[in-house]
Amino acid sequence: MKVIISAIACAPGEGSEGGVGWRAVQRIAREHDVRVITQEMNRPSWERAEREGTVPRSVRVRYVDCGTGWHPNRMIARIQSWTRYLKFSREVLDMAKAWHDEEPADLVHQVTYATWRVPSPLWQMPVPFVWGPVGGTAMFPKQFLGTLGKAARAFEMVREVQGSLAARSSAFIRCVENSAVVLAANGETSMFLKPYRRGRPLLELPVAYMTRNEVEVFSKPLVEKESARGPLKLFAGGNIEGRKGVSMALRAIHRLKQQGIRVEYTVAGGGPEIPTLRKLASRLGIDELVHFHPGYRGRDYVRKLQESDVYFLPSFRETNPVTLLEASLAGCVPVVAGASGSGEMARMIGGDAIPAASPDALIDGLAAAVMRLHHDRGELKRRSCAVSKSAADLYSEIRYDEIIGRAYEVAVQGVHKDGVIAS
């Protein structure tokens, strides 16, 4: 089929959301003729990939100018990303229609950003529209707001109000009701969208997938991985914000130390919370157990995951955390808060999702989960292999392809001549 893909974030060879969009295009282009609409800022990445011959022959690209460069302040940069997305959303429909007039498409599909909060206008195209995967439905637990700094607390409260307003907007309701198929990034999002869909096609598709080669790279040494008698090696990575709950993890490590159990905890990545977390670790007297690292790259990153025993990042608001997935493939047993996408993913692959009833209960639960793994290294090794296999199966490229194929088939076959979507 001929597919127009809307992906504001789609940058060959890059990470984060830009990598998510590019990976989606790569998979879809294996079976379809793809035309990508992305933002102008991604042009250098595309031109480099074209020179290197890594853009599939079935893929072409056009650009919407939404501005270039990012503010050095991460909070301001995040606001920039949303204002650019709003501009992109205002212009993408006209560009898609013009491209369709030149070369008729069979359907249109938006893959990034993976959020429901800014609805797409592409349901107005004269061909079926597939929306997603979309996520972003998680709300920060109110009982944990007191653990955040003032700025992070204000952000979460504003986000909740914005979400409530967005869910009532006519733009969102028209988009979710008129999309031929909606792809929810996880079960939490599926439950949120289901009432709006009123029986129309709604499938679940994680934002992330892993190729066979990536699975092999992360999990290859697993058979050789030995759980030493020494301290368990705990790992957390990514953009370290208040919503990630690292302060809860530090307090759990403090409780473990009080009971005579020492661990080695690596927090890899930057973010606004790092200075505060350093002070907290010092105040708790666990400086020697916690290592703050600016972030690993490439082989060093893979090696660090393979050397670690536990993925230890509570995280209260996620969709499909890629670092958790990669750590699990490398044999790290996830120990996270039983909230949002992290908790859902941990439960699915056999990790520990600790109930987040209150800060004290979560801290006790996190400490208890690590303590069990510390005392039973045989169980740690068994679960290490089990979570790696489950992650490889549930987030495989094969499963991704199957769900995309099913969505496209349903979208094209479910549209009658009068344009009404078959339920």
Mean pLDDT on 272-299 = 94
Dig out the tokens for 315 from the structure.
């995280």
pLDDT tier at 176, thresholds 50, 70, 90? very high
Indicate if the pLDDT at residue 103 is higher than 60.
yes
Mean pLDDT on 284-297 = 95
For strand 202-204 and strand 33-39, is the pairing parallel, antiparallel, or unpaired?
Answer: unpaired
pLDDT value for 108: 98
pLDDT value for 418: 36
Indicate if the pLDDT at residue 223 is higher than 70.
no
Q: How far is CA 423 from CA 27, 128, 200, in A?
A: 27, 14, 5
Q: What is the CA radius of gyration of the chain?
A: 22
Same domain, 161 and 225: no
Angle at 106 between CA 104 and CA 112, to 5 degrees: 105
Which of 270 and 301 is assigned the larger pLDDT? 301
Q: How far is CA 315 from CA 146, 339, 391, in A?
A: 15, 8, 19
The count of structural domains within the chain is 2
Same domain, 406 and 324: no
Whether 302 is in a domain gets the answer yes
Structural domain harbouring 400? 2-209+396-413
Whether 384 is in a domain gets the answer yes
pLDDT value for 42: 94
| Mean of all residue pLDDT scores within the chain | 91
Dig out the tokens for 405 from the structure.
């194929």
Which of 318 and 390 is assigned the larger pLDDT? 390
pLDDT value for 382: 94
Same domain, 114 and 53: yes
Across 6-26, b (16+ Cβ under 10 Å) vs e yields: bbbbbbbebeebbbbbbbbbb
Whether 406 is in a domain gets the answer yes
pLDDT value for 237: 94
pLDDT value for 67: 77
Nearest to 40 by CA among 76, 9, 78: 9
Mean pLDDT on 215-224 = 75
CA dihedral sign of residues 170, 175, 178, 184: negative
Across 124-134, b (16+ Cβ under 10 Å) vs e yields: ebebbbbbbbb
CA dihedral sign of residues 184, 187, 188, 191: positive
Same domain, 117 and 174: yes
For 227-284, how does the pLDDT look when each residue is reduced to its tens digit (9 = 90+)?
557 899 999 998 888 889 999 999 999 999 999 999 999 999 988 889 999 999 999 9
Q: How far is CA 104 from CA 24, 91, 175, in A?
A: 21, 19, 22
pLDDT tier at 416, thresholds 50, 70, 90? very low
Mean pLDDT on 174-201 = 95
pLDDT value for 224: 53
**Residues in Cβ contact with 150 at an 8 Å cutoff, skipping those fewer than 6 apart:** none
Spatial separation of the C-alpha atoms in residues 172 and 224, rounded to whole Å: 50
pLDDT value for 363: 97
AA identity, residue 404: I
For 29-67, how does the pLDDT look when each residue is reduced to its tens digit (9 = 90+)?
999 999 999 999 999 999 999 999 999 999 999 999 987
Indicate if the pLDDT at residue 420 is higher than 50.
no
Same domain, 293 and 405: no
Dig out the tokens for 56 from the structure.
């599939």
Same domain, 74 and 100: yes
pLDDT value for 422: 38
pLDDT value for 58: 95
End-to-end C-alpha distance for the chain, whole angstroms: 22
Which of 71 and 234 is assigned the larger pLDDT? 234
Instruction: Answer for the pair 332, 235: CB distance below 8 angstroms, yes or no.
Output: yes
Whether 99 is in a domain gets the answer yes
pLDDT value for 75: 66
Nearest to 232 by CA among 313, 332, 364: 332
What three-state secondary structure class fits 111?
Answer: strand
For strand 129-134 and strand 181-184, is the pairing parallel, antiparallel, or unpaired?
Answer: parallel
Same domain, 261 and 368: yes
Spatial separation of the C-alpha atoms in residues 399 and 417, rounded to whole Å: 31
Same domain, 145 and 217: no
196 upstream amide cis, omega within 30 of 0: no
Q: How far is CA 386 from CA 95, 163, 393, in A?
A: 47, 37, 11
**Residues in Cβ contact with 241 at an 8 Å cutoff, skipping those fewer than 6 apart:** 152, 271, 272, 273
Mean pLDDT on 107-132 = 95
pLDDT value for 195: 95
Long-range contacts of 275-278 (CB under 8 A, 24+ apart): 276/149, 276/247, 277/240, 277/246, 277/247, 277/250
Spatial separation of the C-alpha atoms in residues 270 and 418, rounded to whole Å: 52
Mean pLDDT on 133-160 = 86
Whether 421 is in a domain gets the answer no
Instruction: Answer for the pair 22, 5: CB distance below 8 angstroms, yes or no.
Output: no
pLDDT value for 74: 66
Same domain, 197 and 217: no
Whether 420 is in a domain gets the answer no
56 upstream amide cis, omega within 30 of 0: no
Lookup result for tokens 């060959």: 12
**Residues in Cβ contact with 192 at an 8 Å cutoff, skipping those fewer than 6 apart:** 116, 137, 184
Same domain, 87 and 40: yes
CATH code (residue 196): 3.40.50.2000
Lookup result for tokens 């890059």: 14
Whether 102 is in a domain gets the answer yes
Dig out the tokens for 29 from the structure.
């282009």
User: In degrees to the nearest 10, what's the CA dihedral of 385, 386, 392, 393?
Assistant: 150
Q: In what order do the strands lie in the sheet with 129-134?
A: 59-64, 33-39, 2-7, 107-112, 129-134, 181-184, 202-204
pLDDT value for 150: 82
Same domain, 205 and 249: no
Same domain, 224 and 294: yes
Q: Where are the beta strands (DSSP E) in 285-396?
A: 290-293, 310-312, 333-337, 352-354
Mean pLDDT on 344-366 = 95
Which of 66 and 342 is assigned the larger pLDDT? 342
pLDDT value for 235: 98
Indicate if the pLDDT at residue 421 is higher than 60.
no
Whether 419 is in a domain gets the answer no
Which of 418 and 195 is assigned the larger pLDDT? 195
